[in-house]
Structure 1
Amino acid sequence: MTRTLLVVMDSVGIGGAPDAEAFGDAGSNTVGHILDARGATGLNVPNLSGMGLYKALAHSSNNAWTDAVPRTGAIWAVGRETGKGKDTPSGHWEITGLPVTTPPHVFEALDDSFPPELLDAMITKGSLPGILGNKHASGVPIMRDLGEEHMRSGKPIVYTSADSVLQIAAHEDSFGLDRLYDLCRIAREICDAYRVGRIIARPFVGNTAEDFKRTGNRRDFTMPPHADTILDTLTAAGRQVLAMGKIGDIYAGRGISEIRKTHGNMALFDLTLEAMDDLQEGGLLFANFVDFDTEFGHARDPLGYAQALEDFDARLPELFSKMAPDDLLIITADHGNDPTWSGTDHTREQVPILIKSNTLAPAALGIRPFADIGATISDYLGVPGTPHGTSILPLLGEKQ
């Protein structure tokens, strides 16, 4: 059975991007600095390291971090984004064969971030008494700072970041979850004219700042890809594309057969294992594990991030055991989010490309553009690719 599993560990970067300085991120390294934060304890990730994580880290970082235990038998590479973003859609789109050469609009002003006419349109079309926020902020602090006022006034909390994003936080009960989604749809329509990458619904619950908590009902309303990705070519060929987690949102539903969602990395792992039973011959299962980014990268929590990596790694043998003989597994990331870095935004980094196959021989593949992942998947599944990327399959021999 020939199937492909594409797993994105959201934000698990390995430093070394040659243009990191242009993004203010020179020296950032998500995995490397997590290792530093752990000190002598290190990271207990035998499955990821067995797939070549530390080899990719050392190659990307000029051996600043290496694995103390020599390992063989891996197929690994270092992924380098060629597009002009460090956000989730640009990383994912390029992985699937569509580099973003013209980045979406970013609201750069730290305060009074949004144009008055944009907010006026939201207030009028959304029948709102006004808005709170209107600045760059991290989601949890601004929720705690303005959440009580939001509940009293009925004004949603609207904020942005260094990404192309407009985020709306609102209380699930006092404001209403469906009303929040409707407001995000209104904002999506308004923001199309500004070329904003994502509108994100950030619902929360609780009664006071001390117990406010974001829920698992986040939704992303993404600007659709500007051209075809391999998801489009697969579904056009009648192939199955199972989108796990936030993948459906990232592609605005394009090129997807079925979306399956849940909240939390471990719950998503369970759902992914179940989906493998339903993945058809010639199909793609595409999963995004977002907690690394949202719960620990943006929160600047290196020790929590380390634990999340170990928890994820401990589940990988379950995934391996469910792989059919001809299945191809690719584990990668979309950008960095160094939890030791200043600020709360993503970091421009290279990423690991870790491949598991029961039929392909071990290989070190050096630095590859993100789009090579999509080209490799198209080649493996026997469908047309996009104009971007080169398959690595010709570089790989068969296992002896």
Structure 2
Amino acid sequence: MSAMEAPASPSAPRAFILVMDSLGIGATADAARFGDAGANTLGHIARGCHRGQGDRDGLRRGPLAIPNLLRLGLGHALQECTGAPVEGIEMPPSVTGAYGHCAEVSAGKDTPSGHWEIAGLPVEFDWTCFPDTVPAFPETLSDELVRRGRLPGILGNCHASGTAILRELGEAHIRSGKPIVYTSADSVLQIAAHETHFGLERLLSLCEIAREMVDPLNVGRVIARPFVGDSADTFARTGNRRDYTTPPHGPTLLDALQHGGGDVVAVGKIRDIFAGRGIGRSIKVHGNMALFDATLEAAREQPHKPTLVFTNFVDFDTLYGHRRDLPGYAAALEAMDRRLPELEALLRPGDIAVITADHGCDPSWPGSDHTREHIPALFFGPGVSPGSLGLRHSFADIGQTLAGFFRLAPLGSGQSFYPQLNPNGR
């Protein structure tokens, strides 16, 4: 009988994956292919704060203050990635975590690819992306969406920043009843509509129709972008966003753990990203601090079977990275950093946690898209041996390492460094 098939125990192993969505730590070797050579989300935030570019009255001032993340090894991982000291990062005298930086194997720099690769399933094929033209969508697709959705037409039909297009077209949407349909550099079709004037349920139904329509095109996601407000100055997106993602094309760590008798608790948009695959329980809350609260609640539980708690902290990406808001990003990093000791205090002997990301979104970079960067891998917990994990050649090393932690059969991709994390075993 394997460890995963053994009778349930009150000391069942637990792992926590905390994805700081978009916290890249330096351009990858292939970044030039994406127009991202030189991008560095964390490095440029630290440098900007050191030079006063991160100051904002009523929000924050001064150098970037993330002592707990640095103690876990984030600064060391950043410096190993860049090969030189980073302006605005003061290295701690010692670290308590095992730290590394991971390059991406997947063909894109999108959210599903990053998360699936973390879970041991790289996306080595190309998603279909819509061209940066007007119109962006094929006429047959637009016409079919109008027909099946019983719409008076659509607005947008272009590449756009989600907040900018609300300011531009939100009022016209309310007047006309036409939803705003747009895309980006990712493989995505997004539909924005007013929760009251158009209706939230109607928007979600429309996105389900769109998901069916783009399946043959190999499009990664359809995203519902509901918003509220009365004018361009007051429009704001709500927490009722919904991602309709194509299911993973193969098994992931989540599937393996479920099939082995364990459980997966998805916090935030994790369930959407994996299209529900391998998820035992999903907790949907809005905002980084609420997401952290939900993660702490899960950490206070006493599971009776091996459990993975998987959380995506989306605000870093949607509120600050895409909006190129360096002070906001810095303040959000500092807010999360202050709360990390709360999670550390709840980790029990045998638990393990990792802080990572799914791509970059450098707030100092031109445009509003993701950036092709390494991601951090910061492992910590009562039994974790601190030190450098070096360069990892795939995000999948994280998933493979957790498969080793849970004593699962090896995943299809990635190299485990679990023995290095816990040389004495658990």
TM-score w.r.t. structure 2 length?
0.92
Deviation at 1:397, TM superposition (A): 4.7
- For the 8 Å contact 1:74–1:362, the answer to whether it is kept is yes
Q: Structure 2 regions of 5+ residues with no counterpart? A: 1-11, 52-61
382, 386, 390: which is aligned to 1:358? 382
Q: How does 1:1-400 map onto structure 2 within 5 Å?
A: 1-39=12-50, 41-65=62-86, 66-278=89-301, 280=303, 281-368=305-392, 369-398=394-423
Q: Distance in 2 between the 1:150 and 1:103 partners?
A: 33
Residue 276 and residue 69 in structure 1: after superposition, are their counterparts in 2 closer, same or farther (change >3 A)? Answer: closer
Question: Is the Cα contact below 8 Å between 2:97 and 2:384 reproduced in 1?
Answer: no
For residues 259 and 20 of structure 2, the distance between their equivalents in structure 1, rounded to whole angstroms, comes to 27
Instruction: Give the whole-Å Cα distance in 2 for the aligned partners of 1:25 and 1:109.
Output: 18
- Please give the alpha-carbon distance, in whole angstroms, between the structure 2 residues aligned to 1:130 and 1:8: 38
Tell me the C-alpha RMSD between the 2 structures: 1.3
Secondary structure, aligned partner of 1:224: coil
Q: Is the 8 A contact 1:360 1:399 kept in 2?
A: no
Q: 1:279, CA displacement in angstroms?
A: 5.7
Matched residues, number: 400
Query: CA separation in 1, counterparts of 2:91 and 2:403?
Result: 36
Displacement after TM superposition at 1:278 (Å): 3.2
Structure-2 change in CA distance of 1:179 and 1:279 (3 Å) = farther
Contact 2:246 2:275 in 1 (8 A): yes
Amino acid at match of 1:184: C
Which TM-score applies when normalising by structure 1?
0.98
Partner SS, residue 279 of structure 2:
coil
Tell me the SS of whatever aligns to 1:204.
strand
Separation in 2, partners of 1:214, 1:397: 43
Contact 1:335–1:347 under 8 Å retained in 2: yes
Q: Distance in 2 between matches of 1:69 and 1:261?
A: 35
Alpha-carbon spacing, 1:68–1:384, altered in 2? closer, same or farther (3 Å):
closer
Deviation by residue 1:258-312 (Cα, 9 ceiling, x = unmatched): 1101110001111111112336241100000000000000000011000000000
Deviation (angstroms), 1:64: 4.5
User: Helix, strand or coil: the match of 1:366?
Assistant: strand
More divergent stretch after superposition (40-49 vs 92-101): 40-49
Q: Which letter maps to 1:301? A: D
- SS, match of residue 380 in structure 2: strand
Contact 1:335 1:349 in 2 (8 A): yes
Q: Distance in 1 between matches of 2:197 and 2:28?
A: 44
CA distance in 2, matches of 1:72, 1:219: 38
The question of whether the paired residues in 1 share the 8 Å contact of 2:352 and 2:384 is answered with no
- Residues of 1 paired with 2:354 and 2:411: CA distance? 18
Deviations 1:376-396 (A, max 9, x none): 111101122321011101223
What are structure 1's unaligned runs of at least 5 residues?
Answer: none
The DSSP-based 3-state class of the residue aligned with 2:261 is: coil
Paired with 1:392 and 1:133, the residues of 2 have a C-alpha distance of 47
Distance 1:395 1:323 in 2: 19
Question: 2-side partners of 1:125 and 1:259: how far apart?
Answer: 30
Contact 1:97 1:374 in 2 (8 A): yes
> Is the contact between residue 70 and residue 91 of structure 2 (CA under 8 Å) also seen in structure 1?
no
Choose 40-49 or 87-96, whichever is displaced more. Answer: 40-49
Deviates more, 1:65-74 or 1:33-42: 65-74
The answer to whether the Cα contact below 8 Å between 1:374 and 1:385 also exists between their aligned partners in 2 is no
CA deviation after TM superposition for structure 1 residue 184, in Å: 0.3
Give a deviation string over 1:294-343, Cα, whole Å, max 9, x none. 00000000110000000001111111111111100011000000001000
- Alpha-carbon deviation of 1:245? 0.1
SS in 1 for 2:132: coil
Q: Which amino acid aligns with 1:340?
A: S
